[in-house]
Amino acid sequence: MQRESMTDSAALGRWHGALHRRGWILIFFLGLTGCGWVQSRVTSGLMQDISTATARHDDVTLVRDAIPPFLLLLDGLIEGSAQDAGLLTSGAEAYTSYASLVEIDEPQRAGMLYARARDYGRRALLAQRPATRSLIDQPYDDFEQITRHLRAEDVAVVFWAASSWGAWISTHLDSMAAIAQLPRVIYLMEWVLSQDETFLDGAPHVFLGVYHAALPALLGGSPDRAREHFDRALEIGQRQTLIVQVQMARYYARQIFDRELFVALLDEVIRAPADADPDLRLQNMAAKQQARVLLEQADELF
């Protein structure tokens, strides 16, 4: 079977649910303080303060409702600096994160948001490494050469390019052309892992853990590899990034039909303090909400 011939829509649907509801991208970090448009210490300080306040907030709904004006601000900044890889990466991150918050209630709108995220992520990668332009749309064997042009400092750009691309694929499961691009996303994420497995508290491990847990072996899945990725993410985050336990329960424990592990992981999330790390408060509050919902569904899932 060719690596790009993925036709199991049910399995991809499970991966779809994992991909864009990842709690580790739930927090809306604008990430603008490091971009070239910042001209003053005052502006830089303000954006850093907004980022910090957002991460430390305990009201997920308030943060979600506050995001759209910042998206429009970011669009305007990109319009004025169309080749700024930093701004484009922030755009991919922001739109992917926001779409993940609204998709359950507004799937069609989320699909449009993911399309913009994918566009920004792709443009960020090309702006960061122009040499990749000739490879990104080539057949897979040629596409694999793309990593020859990447450097260690490209981790954030590649991570968000892959995440936004994957989220876009997840909303186009009726398109074989879109599904066929999934191996490219996985290849890029594996490169990120090889460069910095600790990025965003082990987010590449969580991404790949979900992937291997959600898909059958025929499509590249592997419960054993999923367990390795989740265990490593828990180790990196010292079990304080609670969304890792939630995703491990939702995808790995369910895949191997281990109710005891499922319940233990979710109970751990509910009992754990949300603010052991103040910078994870918002993310952990969201993880606790998800854990309670999943526990209520345990009888249906097992």
pLDDT tier at 268, thresholds 50, 70, 90: very high
The helix or strand, by DSSP H or E, that contains position 205, with its residue range, turns out to be helix 203-214
* Cβ atoms of 3 and 65 closer than 8 Å: no
pLDDT mean over 263-281: 89
* Cβ atoms of 156 and 25 closer than 8 Å: no
Question: DSSP secondary structure string, 244-265?
Answer: HHHHIIIIIIHHTT-HHHHHHH
Answer yes or no: is pLDDT of 291 > 80.
yes
Domain boundaries, the chain: 1-182, 197-302
**pLDDT value, residue 281:** 82
Question: DSSP secondary structure string, 10-68?
Answer: HHHHHHHHHHTT-GGG-S----GGGSTT---HHHHHHHHHHHHHHHT-S-HHHHHHHHH
User: What is the share, in percent, of the chain residues with pLDDT greater than 90?
Assistant: 47
Answer yes or no: is pLDDT of 201 > 80.
yes
pLDDT digits (tens, 9 = 90+) for 88-145: 998 998 898 888 777 777 888 989 999 999 999 999 999 999 999 999 999 999 999 9
pLDDT mean over 261-266: 98
pLDDT mean over 256-285: 90
Answer yes or no: is pLDDT of 198 > 90.
yes
pLDDT tier at 253, thresholds 50, 70, 90: very high
Answer yes or no: is pLDDT of 45 > 80.
no
The helix or strand, by DSSP H or E, that contains position 116, with its residue range, turns out to be helix 107-128
pLDDT tier at 173, thresholds 50, 70, 90: confident
Reported as half-sphere exposure (CB side, CA atoms, 13 A), residue 219 has a value of 21
**pLDDT value, residue 51:** 61
**pLDDT value, residue 123:** 96
Answer whether 0.75 is exceeded by the pTM.
Answer: yes
Sign of dihedral through CA atoms 232, 238, 241, 246?
positive
CA distances from 202 to 198, 199, 241 (A): 4, 5, 9
